[in-house]
Structures are given as C-alpha cells and as structure tokens.
Amino acid sequence: MAMKQIEARGLTFDVTIDGPADGVPVLLLHGFPQDQREFELIRPELHAAGLRTIAYDQRGYSPGARPADPAEYTVLEAAGDAVAILDALGVPETHLIGHDWGAVVSWLVTALHPDRVRTLTAVSVPHPNAMAQALRDDETQRKQFDYQAMLAAPDGEDAARADDFAWLRRALAGAGDRAGLYVDAMRDPARLTGAINWYRARPAGGRAALPAVTVPTTFVWSDKDLAIGATAARHCADWVTGDFRFVSVPGVSHWVPEEAPEVLVEAALTRIGSTG
C-alpha cells in the first residue's frame, strides 16, 4: 500500500494506491460523511481480482484541499479534481466506483469525460437527471432530502454536532461499528465545515442537465436507503445509453460499501469483467 499526497489544481489530496503494481486501475470516490476508508472492506477483493485501487479523500476531507469559499465545493469542481488526480498519476483511463456524493462525482466524470472511464459502478445515488426528476415529481423524495437544508444552513455545523453528533450517529446506523470512525473524524472543525460545504454549494434548483452516460454502467441501490427513494432509482436507466445493469439490494441501508460489501464487490467485478 502506498499512501501519498498528490498536488492537483492547487490543492493537496491524501491518496492511497494499493493492489498489484501492474493491475488495471480502479478509482474509488467516497461520499459524506465518510472518506476513502469506506472502501476498506472491498479493496482486498478488488486486489485479489488483479485490480489496482486508487482512493483519496475528496476536497473538504483532505486537510490540504479545503478552499475557504463554499462555492468551490460543487460536484463539477470535485469532478475536475478526479480527472486531475488521474492526470497526476499518469492514468489515462480507469474503472470508476463511487458512493453517495462520490457517485454524483462519478456520474459527472463519466458523462463529461467518457474517454477516461472504462466502466462505472455508481452506488446509492443515480444519474443526476434522474435525481432531479424525482425531486421535482416525488414529494417523498423531497422530504428525504430535508436533511440537506439543515446541513447547508449557516449553523449546519452546530446542528451536526448537537448532542455529541446524535443526528450523524443515527444517519450512520447502517454502517455498524465503523460509524464511529467518521463521527470521530468530524470532530475536526475544519473537516466538518469542508464536508458540509458540499451541501452549501449544491444549486437550489439542482445542477444543469447532464448528458446521458455512454459508458457501461451498473447502478447499485438498496431499498432501505433513507435518502434515495425508489422513484429516483427507477429512472436511472433513462440516462444511460451504454450497457446498463440495475442491482437492487433488499434490506440494506444507504451504507452499501460497509453493510453489503460482498454485493458491491460482485456487482463491480461483474461490470468490470464485462469489458474483457
């Protein structure tokens, strides 16, 4: 395992590279409130399959990548980070696995830079256009996103910290004993603000429409996800013109990489193997 700091776009990211030195690269993008450690349960299986993983703490999470302006935390900026890190590592194309906000970033990278992505495995969050449609048409989905307004508020940090991070602990219940890793990390005020700034940078009306994805794609969604409902998940297929597979995981919460790592590994390896 090689842990290093990578300079990209004027920021410094904490990056872990592991697996066979000659393995095909797989870029892993984490979400909120986690970091690259959320993939610890799936990386060994990816390495055993001959893949080389690249995981990093995204902007707001890496100490050297915390711009002061909340407006610099858009997913478009984060997608630019991903491409720049691949450039810095000399990786022309990669398989991509992203969860939560990392899934959103993955959709952008894949839609805007299809030449850089061999396959996409998006976890929990569907194509942004499907998400926007669900928020427009489904009252239940809008209510599921109420927490985002709480976090984006000027006192979002105070709300997150209240009663020793009680809200965050409840939200992370499905992650089991690993939840404490992320709660403890958020005790760093700079990290907490950096993570919350992703919500502050989210456009009130949703981002501009994104092109359909042409790359072979698997979308993994769990039916006990309290943030992403069935309407959004169901419409994901409408925005993928490449080969598409929808994997529904029954009885599992939002935290798929940690609650059902074996399902995610199977879905990702099946997708990656489909390209030969």
Q: Please give the share of the chain, as a percent, with pLDDT higher than 90.
A: 95
Per residue in 82-121, pLDDT tens? 999 999 999 999 999 999 999 999 999 999 999 999 999 9
- Give the torsion sign (CA, 102, 70, 202, 197): positive
pLDDT on residue 207:
58
Q: How confident is the model at residue 276 (pLDDT cuts 50, 70, 90)?
A: low
Length of the chain (residues): 276
Short-list 179, 273, 166, CA closest to 218: 273
**pTM over cut 0.95:** yes
Burial class (CB in 10 A: 0-12, 13-18, 19+), 187: exposed
Q: Which domain holds residue 249?
A: 2-273
Instruction: In whole angstroms, give the CA distance from residue 271 to residue 95.
Output: 9
pLDDT value of residue 208: 61
Segment 55-82 shows an average pLDDT of 98
* pLDDT level of residue 1 (50, 70, 90 thresholds): confident
Q: What is the CATH number of the domain that holds 83?
A: 3.40.50.1820
Q: What's the CA gap between 172 and 184, in Å, rounded?
A: 12
Model confidence over 31-56: pLDDT tens digits?
999 999 999 999 999 999 999 999 99
The total number of structural domains in the chain stands at 1
